[in-house]
Structure 1
Amino acid sequence: MALMTERTLVLLICVQLLVLVLLYQVSYDHETAHYENTFWKSIAIATKINKAIRAVSHYKQKLPDCPRTSQLTGGPLNISFPLWLNMKQVEQKHLLVRRGGSYSPPNCTATYKIAIIIPHRNRMEHLTYLLYHLHPFLQRQQLKYRIFVIEQAGNYTFNRGKLLNVGFKEAMKHENWDCIFFHDVDLIPEDDRNTYICDLFPKHASIAMDKFKYRLPYKHFFGGVSALTPEHVEKINGFPNSYWGWGGEDDDIATRIKLNKMLVARPPIHIGRYKMISHKRDKGNEKNPERFQLLKNATLRWEEDGLNNLEYILLSKKNNHLYTNITVDIGTSKGLQLYR
């Protein structure tokens, strides 16, 4: 409905301008008395059109607020990974999503504004499946949202924490989001009652993955999918930039939360369920042999390793149909590499 309203406004304005131009042209071809009469007729028509525009605009502004708890969610979901699926087919399925992967409920004003940050490299198949499931999942929750895919350029060692920091910085340039979801590309939520909104404390959403037999692998686990307000992110100085390769950065984040005297919020274990897309370990994302030593020093390092020492080069920003793709050079452990 909101989309149709905007189109109606544009159409009405165009009609108004066309009527004024045509009537003005006709009036020039007649005598002065008739010109005056035509002029006032055009003013009357323009006034009526303006009233219609104001009425439509007023209607648009008066959309009711969306409920805090959506009535469109249905609970457990049937998650599948069709072999025939491609990104073009997913795009055709989600015509209400605007370029850049943004969406607002058409029949009500969203209560929450959410940004989804997905670190990514060489995982287009996984991204296709995630977007196939995630867009309708978020829409049933009646959220205003935008999906950002942060792509690491080059073939150097992957750095999830640094990409999450980049995603936060770039997403906040678009909107003052209420909540930021940091989302691994290979995890699909299995229950749409797992609401993608923030809590009083940082939230760990993926509490029960099929990989771990739907149990929390250890008490302080904070990996996979998490949600923080912008204030939470700033308070913990974002994510660590120093973890190159797989492992350790999510435990570092949990340490930062604890050091800042915050608890971790979690959904019930039967709701916070996720299915992981099976895959082999990526080249360039091997286990980080330094992760345990870095974790030992996390309490000493967190105030100097994060948002406040983040360096990257923005290579491109593209508004694809289903997501905003941000490609960045985050360099290596030895410094930035230029890909321009």
Structure 2
Amino acid sequence: MFLSRMENHCFLLFVFVFQVIFILILYRGGPSHVFRGFLESPQVVDYSKPHDVYTNLSLFTRAPNEDAMPYCSAQSPVLVGPLTITFRVLPSERMIMKRNPFVQSGGHYKPPHCFPRYKSAILVPYRNQEKYLRHLLYYIHPFLQRQQLSYTVYLIQQVGTGSFNRAKLLNVGVREAMKDEEWDCLVLHDIDLVPENDYNLYICDEYYPKHMASAMDKFQYTIHLAGMKIVQTSPHLGRYRVMDYNEETESQEPWRRPPSQHNTRKTWKADGMNTLQFRLLSRTKHPLYTKITVDIGYVPPFS
């Protein structure tokens, strides 16, 4: 009789604990969100001891038989955490290509040793920012490769005399990228931002948009205007370095500090996918990226 009562109490306790765990999972956005949180928990967060961005890439070698390749592990075994980021030396395109031998034409990559679990498109709005582009390519390619992603880097270039319209270029990038692949994730990336921790996974949340640069106060105005709920990468992972040249360089490159700025608050609804209008001028595959050049028409300056 005593054992029976104990068994009943244990069973009720088990049911109670199970219900608590189930409610917690629902509250956090589903089981995939909870488990992904574990994947995004780094073992190393000491930013005083960063690693070179190309650490461990030499461990990836082409599988002798693609038909027998396994799926990539749920968490990449070669992630290192904090990265050394510096913009003192401008890398050449040839050097970046040499250090990323598995990147294919158009800036496409897939792991040579396993089948990727995630496919991400990296969309970068662009306008005459060659120095920033080379720094970004130098860091972003090894960063993504260590995460064992299949990815393509898209450069969406605006031409014409109108003010720079980042939102509309990103919408163009989304439409053009989806012609190539059923991407799991579309990463909207500024050209002057470089991630500092490779545990900041460039994969999307299952339900909500994901704000990766959580240690910076950027892009919040777009999310606020659209009224969307977002998932935010934890601040100790979502750290980014901002490229910032000296005043002499900025004065020589007026695109960095334009005299007029596109007024997103007035035109964001018209910049959406349903009303998107642009003229595709060219689509070319470069060794490290796919460039999509567009004329988006006249863009009114901020007033």
- Considering the TM-score relative to the shorter chain, is it more than 0.5? yes
Structure 1 position 278 matched with structure 2 position 244: yes
How far did 1:81 drift? Answer: 1.6
- Counterpart mapping for 1:251-270 below 5 A: 251-258=221-228, 263-270=229-236
| 1:99-118 correspondence runs (5 A) | 99-118=105-124
C-alpha displacement of 1:60: 1.8
Tell me whether 1:97 sits opposite 2:103 in the alignment.
Answer: yes
Given candidates 68, 74, 81, the residue that maps to 2:74 is 68
Which amino acid is 1:309 matched to?
Answer: T
Q: How does 1:180-259 map to 2 (within 5 A)?
A: 180-199=186-205, 200-209=207-216, 217=217, 223=219, 251-258=221-228
- CA deviations 1:266-302 (Å, max 9, x no partner) are 111111000000044626844548455x28xx7xxx4
1:268 corresponds to which letter in structure 2?
Answer: S
- Partners of 1:317 and 1:284 in 2: CA distance: 27
Counterpart position of 1:330:
296
Distance in 2 (alpha carbons) for counterparts of 1:2 and 1:102: 17
Structure 2 contact 168–271 (Cα < 8 Å) conserved: no
Residue 62 (structure 1) shift: 2.8
Shift of the 158–84 alpha-carbon distance from structure 1 to 2, 3 Å rule, reads closer
Give runs of aligned pairs for residues 17-166 of structure 1, distance below 5 A. 59-166=65-172
Q: How many pairs were matched up? A: 233
TM, length-normalised to structure 2? 0.71
What amino acid sits opposite 1:325 in the alignment? K
- Seen in structure 2, the aligned counterparts of structure 1 residues 68 and 317 have a Cα distance that, compared at 3 Å, is same
Deviates more, 1:161-170 or 1:75-84: 75-84
- CA distance in 2 between partners of 1:163 and 1:289 (Å): 12
Alignment-mate amino acid for residue 255 of structure 1:
L
Distance, in Å, in 1 between the alignment partners of 2:84 and 2:126 is 25
- After TM superposition, give the deviation of residue 154 of structure 1 in Å: 2.3
Work out the CA distance in 2 between the residues paired with 1:273 and 1:88.
28
Contact kept? 1:152, 1:163, Cα under 8 Å: yes
Of residues 308, 316, 327 in structure 1, which corresponds to 2:274? 308
What is the CA–CA distance in structure 2 between the aligned matches of 1:270 and 1:284, rounded to whole Å?
A: 30
Seen in structure 2, the aligned counterparts of structure 1 residues 308 and 84 have a Cα distance that, compared at 3 Å, is: closer
**Quick check: which one's helix share is greater?**
1
Give the match's secondary structure for 2:66: helix
Q: 1:287 to 1:253 in 2, by over 3 A?
A: farther
Q: Which residue of 2 aligns with 1:232?
A: none
Distance in structure 1 (CA, Å) of the matches to 2:177 and 2:71: 24
Q: CA RMSD in A?
A: 2.3
Instruction: For 2:291, give the aligned amino acid.
Output: N
Length-normalised TM-score, structure 1: 0.64
Q: For the structure 1 residues 289 and 180, does the alpha-carbon distance in structure 2 shift closer, same or farther, using more than 3 Å as the test?
A: closer
Query: Structure 1 regions of 5+ residues with no counterpart?
Result: 6-58, 210-216, 224-249, 335-340
Q: How far apart are residue 85 of structure 1 and its match?
A: 1.9
Q: Which runs of 5+ in 2 are unaligned?
A: 1-59
CA distance in 2, matches of 1:291, 1:257: 15
Which whole-Å CA distance do the structure 1 matches of 2:61 and 2:194 have between them?
Answer: 29
Relative distance call for 1:284 and 1:312 in structure 2 (3 A) is: farther
Shift of 1:208: 1.2
Whole-angstrom CA distance in 1 between matches of 2:283 and 2:184: 22
Distance 1:83 1:306, change over 3 A: same
Contact 2:262–2:299, Cα closer than 8 Å, also in 1 = no
Q: What is the CA-CA distance between 1:83 and the residue it aligns to?
A: 2.3
Q: Does the Cα contact within 8 Å between 1:311 and 1:330 map onto a contact in 2?
A: yes
Rg (Cα) greater in structure: 1
Answer yes or no: is the 8 Å Cα contact 1:112–1:197 preserved in 2. yes
SS of aligned partner of 1:208: coil
In the superposition, relative to structure 1, how do residues 75 and 173 fare at CA in structure 2: closer, same or farther (>3 Å)? same
Superposition deviation, residue 69 in structure 1: 1.6
The answer to whether the 8 A contact 2:111-2:149 is kept is: yes
Q: Contact conserved, 1:155 with 1:284, CA < 8 A, in 2?
A: no
SS of residue paired to 1:317: strand
Report the AA paired with residue 211 of structure 2: H
Distance 1:160 1:315 in 2: 18
Task: Please say if residues 157 and 284 of structure 1, whose CA atoms lie closer than 8 Å, have aligned partners that are also in contact.
Answer: no
Q: Is the 8 A contact 1:156 1:284 kept in 2?
A: no
Query: Which whole-Å deviations, capped at 9, do the CAs of 1:202-224 have from their partners, x for residues lacking one?
Result: 01101114xxxxxxx4xxxx52x
Report if aligned partners of 2:62, 2:113 keep a CA contact under 8 Å in 1. no
Give me the whole-angstrom Cα distance separating, in 1, the residues matched to 2:225 and 2:167. Answer: 14
Secondary structure of the equivalent of 1:78? coil
In 2, distance between residues paired with 1:3 and 1:72?
Answer: 16
